[in-house]
Amino acid sequence: MPETADVIVIGAGIAGAAAAAHLAADRRVVLLERESQPGYHSTGRSAALFTETYGNRAIRILTGASRTFYEAWADGFAEHPILTPRGALMFAMPGQEEALATAWAELSPDDPRVRRLDAAEARALVPVLRAGSVIGAVHEPDSMDIDVHELHQGYLRRFRQRGGRLVVDAEVRALVSAGGCWTAGTTMGDFAAPVIVNAAGAWADVVAGLAGLPPIGLVPMRRTALTIAPPAGIDASPWPMTLDIGENFYFKPDAGRLLVSPADETPMPPCDVQPDELDIAIAIDRLTRATTIEVARVERKWAGLRSFVADKTTVNGFDPLANGFFWLAGQGGYGIQTAEAMARGAVSLIERGELPADIRAAGLDAATLSPARFRS
């Protein structure tokens, strides 16, 4: 006989862990994870930034709606602050005048905290930017570093405190619906519940396929990161996350080192993705052209998958083609910073078919996130 629950969540990355923790408040929830270690895939490979100027308007609303919870980390949720000040500087290089004007026009009406900087002001914040490399910038002083491990562990801890059951090494290999109940066949046995939450990250379309559903067109894209030593004799720790406005590369202080990325977006099938040497070389080339930083040695390098649907908005809602099959996917490059709002949204959509009041008041409706947009 399968083990029964009210909800089965597939995938214990940040999306599944956050949703499972919220759902377990008043339901029996089983969280199934294929790997031995939750967070092994995208969640453990991010750049750990929280920025309310990143992504489209829906993403910015979901990010803003997560902030209060991350700032409070209250009621024993975490042992350390989740957010610490960082700032984000989107700088424009010669030739990026139009992109700078567009970013400013889009972001400044929505967020009075963002500031327009001239080249000298941008270089005062990040003195290693070469004089000829900057024509201006948009600065978001309130952007933060996220302690991803603390946040993820906080959700898993809360999930367990609420009686939730995490099963690792449990790859879902079959999904069958009968009599209003889904049965998930896994490498750790069978589990049954009326509601399945598909939080399988880059594998979300694969999991839907197990249930006999067509894909939503999720495209996993490789993104590479590396760390190097900061320049000798310079305290880099106060620098903001520094990103060129066309998102061709970025760098940020990270635990005493500099994290650098070529901001690559290479489409590929879901897998345990590894960095490509060419992307590492591109990152170093872009960094050394735009800054005076010299790279003697790459200390660490890794890659992770950022998975997007066509409109780059996350997917949160029941599939109109299958009763009880709920999507929590397409988190792209913002799954950490939006996790709390996505999880609250999932609970509210499952219970009442609408998003929480604060998210609706900010201007986001359920239809914008719904998988129904791929089913017409």
Ligand X SMILES: Cc1cc2nc3c(=O)[nH]c(=O)nc-3n(C[C@H](O)[C@H](O)[C@H](O)COP(=O)(O)OP(=O)(O)OC[C@H]3O[C@@H](n4cnc5c(N)ncnc54)[C@H](O)[C@@H]3O)c2cc1C
Contacts to ligand X by CB under 6 A: 10-16, 32-35, 40-43, 45-49, 171-172, 199-203, 207, 223, 225, 261, 304, 306, 331-337
What is the smallest separation between the CB atom of 199 and ligand X, expressed in angstroms?
A: 6
What is the smallest separation between the CB atom of 342 and ligand X, expressed in angstroms?
A: 9
What is the smallest separation between the CB atom of 227 and ligand X, expressed in angstroms?
A: 12
Q: Which is nearer to ligand X, 123 or 236 (CB)?
A: 236
Q: Which is nearer to ligand X, 123 or 147 (CB)?
A: 147
Q: Which is nearer to ligand X, 62 or 364 (CB)?
A: 62
Q: Which is nearer to ligand X, 48 or 114 (CB)?
A: 48
What is the smallest separation between the CB atom of 39 and ligand X, expressed in angstroms?
A: 6
Q: Which is nearer to ligand X, 171 or 276 (CB)?
A: 171
CA–CA separation, 268 and 51 (whole Å): 26
Q: Which is nearer to ligand X, 23 or 136 (CB)?
A: 23
What is the smallest separation between the CB atom of 116 and ligand X, expressed in angstroms?
A: 23
What is the smallest separation between the CB atom of 131 and ligand X, expressed in angstroms?
A: 28
